[in-house]
Amino acid sequence: MNRTRAARVTGAVLLATGVVTALSVPAFGAPAAPVTPTGSDTESYPAELLQAVERDLGLNADQARVRLASDQKSSEIAEAAKASLGDAFGGAWIDQASGRLTVAVTKPGLSVTGADTAVVKNSLTQLNGTKSVLDVMNAPKSITSWRVDEKSNSVVVEVNKNTRDAAAESFIATARSIGSTVKVEEVAESPTTLYDLRGGDAIYMGSGGRCSLGFSVTGGFVTAGHCGTTGTSVSGYNRVAAGSFAGSVFPGSDMAWVRTNANWTPRPWVNRYNGTNVIVRGSTVAAIGSQICRSGSTTGWRCGTVQAYNQTVNYPQGTVRGLTRTNACAEPGDSGGSWVAGSGFGQAQGVTSGGSGNCSSGGTTYFQPVNPILSRWGLTLTLG
């Protein structure tokens, strides 16, 4: 059951324990009680899912159960706070050590029920505005991505330290001239899209190559845009004709959907790679800091945390905007696969786009959020 918990935003009138001034870095107010699910708020999770979380996130089964339920509630509070606060909303994130949700606000005296608050200089609207300026700039390949980092209240530009050149320095200088909100981070690798897919619940393109199925929708399923162009034929895991790409966008975004034929029935399932399935219940967006797992045809189940929304990634094939950044690993063969979070891992998040690193040494993986895919083509997620 998807229990919605509204966030109550209040303006404290001369009742604060101290004066909080707006700073460019978060200034934490009095702590709120953490969201601690008990009793019926926690659900039974399959052992295989808990094992994946334990392996990748260092939690035992009991800790994982409580944390997953807490992340779901915190995500709902964050979404409600964003809607209620408007331009005073500066972002939200879950602390990995405590599990607490923090909501950033631009006006002292505001509080959010069920969350800590941090007073910041820039609203999320302002940060997204700065990022949108970067989005229309011509980035060299050595600039690997840029994103809004809600926790640091900044826009972070990533540059490959091994290929950093004059063009990159020019881009960085221009970005910094936009405002003090822009920060630069060096990375060791550039992200790539994940081709050469194999194994598991794969789909096969008539033009060549394989990808993973994302989520079932009425009349078909969604996957990554780089897997195929509109009109490309698709076969299922058993090589039986499945249909064709009815819509595809890449670069710019990395989204697509396949309209299937009568041989296929959409099901609300995500493959656990153990003969059983996760049941999709909805698509509530997981808050930054939430635990998240992905399913892919090469590396199976892998877990991590949500690190940032709305990241722009500069792939060799072109720039993609609006991706979500995670520290879960992925490898070639996982593109288009499912990302799930929340209670029972039942909340659909998105489809694998690309990343850097691998599942031996770790890495960064990006996914295309699912809700914009549904909105673009008026699709309905298949739910259980």
DSSP code, position 23: B
Q: How many CB atoms lie within 10 A of CB 137?
A: 14
Q: Which of 335, 338, 343, 356 is catalytic?
A: 335
Q: Which of 75, 190, 226, 283 is catalytic?
A: 226
Q: Is 45 helix (H, G, I), strand (E, B) or coil?
A: coil
- Bridge partner list, 270: 278
Sign of CA dihedral 132, 136, 141, 143: negative
User: What are the helix (H) ranges across 147-221?
Assistant: 166-178
Q: How many CB atoms lie within 10 A of CB 18?
A: 6
Q: Is 37 helix (H, G, I), strand (E, B) or coil?
A: coil
Return the closest-CA partner of residue 70 out of 44, 35, 103: 35
Q: Is 335 a catalytic residue?
A: yes
Q: Is 221 helix (H, G, I), strand (E, B) or coil?
A: strand
Return the closest-CA partner of residue 302 out of 381, 230, 368, 365: 365
Encoded tokens for 102: 């923090």
Calpha distance 294→31 (Å, rounded): 32
Q: Which of 56, 201, 254, 334 is catalytic?
A: 254
Residue 276 backbone dihedrals phi, psi, to 5 degrees: -125, 175
Q: Which long-range contacts (CB under 8 A, 24 or more apart) does 257-265 make?
A: 257/217, 257/220, 257/221, 257/222, 257/223, 257/373, 257/377, 257/379, 258/203, 258/220, 258/221, 258/222, 258/223, 258/234, 259/219, 259/220, 260/219, 260/220, 260/221, 263/236, 264/220, 264/236
Q: Is 254 a catalytic residue?
A: yes
Q: Is 154 a catalytic residue?
A: no
Active site residue ranges: 226, 254, 335
